[in-house]
Each structure stands twice: as C-alpha cells, then as structure tokens.
Amino acid sequence: MLQEFLTDVVGQIVVITFFVLSMIMVLEYLNVFSKGHVHSFMQRNKSLQILISAFLGVIPGCIGTYTAVSLYTHNVIGFGALIANLIATTGDEAFWMMSKMPDKALLIFVGLFALAVVAGYVTNIFVSKRSNSCGQESHFVLHTTHDHHHSLHGNIIENLRHISAHRLILLVSIIVFIVLTLCGFLGEHHHHDGETEIEASEEKFNFIVSIISMVLSAVTLFVIVRVPEHFLEDHIWHHVIGQHFWKILTWTSIALVLVFVVKEVCDIKTWVEQFSEGSVYVFCMVAAILIGLIPESGPHAVFIMLYCNGVMPLGALLANCIVQDGHGAIPLFAESKKDFFIVKGIKVVLAAAVGAAFWML
C-alpha cells in the first residue's frame, strides 16, 4: 500500500505541480518575449479562445488542460473558453479509448469538440460580464521601462558564473525532476488487474508522458538559465513560486490524498458494475456522472471497459466523458474553488442533457 501511495499520490503531486508551474513560467516568458501582444490578441478574440481551448482539451492527457487552466487563472482566456476546454478533455482515458476502440474514440473526440465549442459560445453569451474569480487583471506583468531585448535575454555564462540562490534552487529542482522521470519514479501509474490491453496502452502512455515531461523540462530549464536576474526574481520567483507554488501543491495534495482514500475504501469498479447491472439506463447515468466528479485519472476507465463489453450504454459513457476532466481541473480548484464548482455544475447539467437525449433516441 505504501508503494502504491508513493507512486499514485506523491508522484502525481510532483508531476502535476511541476507541469502547472512550468507552463506558467513558459507563458510568462512568451508574454515578455512578445511584449504582451500574444496575450492581448487572445484576450480580444473570444471566438479564437474557445476554438484553441477546445483543441487543447481534445489533446490526450492533461497537458492541454493544464495549459488552458493556467491561461484562465491569468485572465488570458475567458470562462467560456475554460468550459470548452474542460468539456472537450477526456484526460488520460483518451489513450485507453484509442487503444480499445480507436474508430469510436475518434467520433467521441469530434463530438466532444463540437459540443465544447457550442457550450463555450453559449457560456460567453450568458456570462460575458462575469469577472474571473482568480483576479480582475492579467497576472502577467510587463516592465515597459526596460529595454525589451535586455530585459528578456541574459548572458547564460554570466548567469551560471554568478548564479543566485533562487536560480540554483530552480535549476536543481528541474534536474532532479528530469532524473526521477528518466528513472521511472515519476509519471502516471494506474492499476487495472487482468487488462493486458489496458496495461499495454498504459506503457505507451507513460512513454508519451515522459517525452512531454522531458520537452517541457528542457524548455523550462532554458528559460531559467537564459533570463536575467530581474526577470527571474520578479516574474518567476515572486510570481510563479510565491503566488502559485504552495497553493497548487497544497490543494493538489489534499485532492489526491482524498481520492486515494476513497479508492482504498470503495471498490469503484465493482460498485459501477453492480449499479449498472441489468442495463438500467438511469442507474448507469447516475454512476457515470458521480464517478465523473472524481478529480483523478483512472476510475473513468471502468466505463470504457464496460462499454466495450456491452454493459454500459453509449449515453452513459459520453456523460462520464463530459463530467470528468482527470487531473486537469485540480489546479483550477487550487486557484478558485468557486469557479471549479461552477464548471462542474455546468458539466453535470450538460452530461445529464446529453444522456437524456441518447435515452430518447
């Protein structure tokens, strides 16, 4: 149990925290590099926000959702775009669907993308004047008093020769993360007894996650080494670490520990199978929506297996896909509980509507 706790909880806490903080660091760098033009362009184009966010959501895994949540918490994209992203995403389960039912998985992804775009536009119509609970203005700050090239690009050799304590801490942390990832200590670990196809899919998925982690680590490492001291202190240490690190780490830890305890106490797979016994549609829908509320990747794979075995109806599977967002929404929960629960509420209503529509077909 201890080993499972270390791999399923502690490892995921480290990975999620690193992914989110790295995305914010890279976004900070890109904001200054573009003199704020990219973010200003995104803020002005609500329709483009929704399309890009929905596309990020369709990307298998949670990296697209982490990106969208980071953009939302910094007021680069609006609430409608956030809704679109979290509806379109199926998290890590996307890999399992592609492995177990590739043809139907593609149709599900396309359907979720279309639904996400429509939901995003409708949300913007009704909440166009709603303020972001994470802050009134963009957290990305531009220092216009500095020369742009000088303020962004430091001398790598000089930065390393006269390395500050904060830069050293960041570099060592990233290097340790890279080593742990290469050694297989960090990554996604789910357990599905007797499911050899799922296990094979997981191996491919873990390899993809490792590649993404390495690329993101390399980019973050470049940013840390490249930027001058004032950028490192103002944008990265005081903003990213000071404002986001402890909040994300704390709430991610609480969420994943609670999920781990629930999974240890309850046999979710057996519960879902019993709940859907006899193919009672309403019971399947209730199970799909309730399990979809769990902010974790893994339990939702039960619905994929049951659907492939002819036990779970398509409407229930779609309802689960709409409600669930894997680990992707945990950083949103850390930044704004209010927005997290509003998003979940909207997704539950939408999932119930889609499920009811399939029931009447």
Predicted confidence (pLDDT) per residue in 149-191, tens digit: 445 556 788 888 889 999 999 999 999 999 988 887 776 555 5
Contact assessment for residue 106 and residue 168, using Cβ atoms and an 8 Å cutoff: no
77-91, 200-214, 287-301: which has the minimum mean pLDDT?
200-214
Q: What amino acid is encoded at 7 in this protein?
A: T
Whether the per-residue pLDDT at 9 is higher than 70: the answer is yes
Residues present in the chain in total: 361
Average pLDDT, stretch 87-98?
Answer: 86
C-alpha triplet 156, 26, 295: angle, nearest 5°: 140
Phi and psi, residue 274, nearest 5°:
-70, -40
Please tell me which residue, 344 or 30, carries the higher pLDDT value.
Answer: 344
Local confidence band at 136 (pLDDT 50, 70, 90 cut-offs): very low
- Beta carbons within 8 Å of 133's beta carbon, 6+ residues apart: 336, 338, 339
Of the candidate ranges 46-55, 127-136, 318-327, the one whose mean pLDDT is the lowest: 127-136
| 239 vs 344, more confident | 344
pLDDT above 90: residue 39: no
What is the reported pTM? 0.82
Amino acid residing at 164: S
- For 295, other C-beta atoms within 10 Å of its C-beta total 22
Helices (H), the chain: 2-5, 11-33, 37-44, 46-58, 63-73, 79-88, 93-100, 102-126, 148-152, 156-161, 165-182, 196-226, 229-231, 246-265, 268-275, 281-292, 301-308, 314-323, 330-335, 337-360
Q: Confirm if 15 and 217 have CB atoms less than 8 A apart.
A: no
b/e string for 114-131 if b means 16 or more Cβ within 10 A? Answer: ebbbebbbebbeeeeeee
pLDDT at 302 over 90: no
Q: How much is the pLDDT for 336?
A: 87
Q: Quick one: how far is CA 213 from the chain centroid? A: 14
> Which range is least confidently modeled, 107-116, 196-205, 286-295, 300-309?
196-205
Q: How far apart, in whole angstroms, are the C-alpha atoms of residue 66 and residue 56?
A: 9
Q: Is 248 exposed, middle or buried (0-12, 13-18, 19+ CB in 10 A)?
A: buried
pLDDT tens string 230-286: 889 988 999 889 888 988 899 888 888 888 887 777 766 666 666 555 556 788 888
Specify whether the CB–CB gap between 164 and 229 falls below 8 A: yes
Q: What is the model's pLDDT at position 206?
A: 67
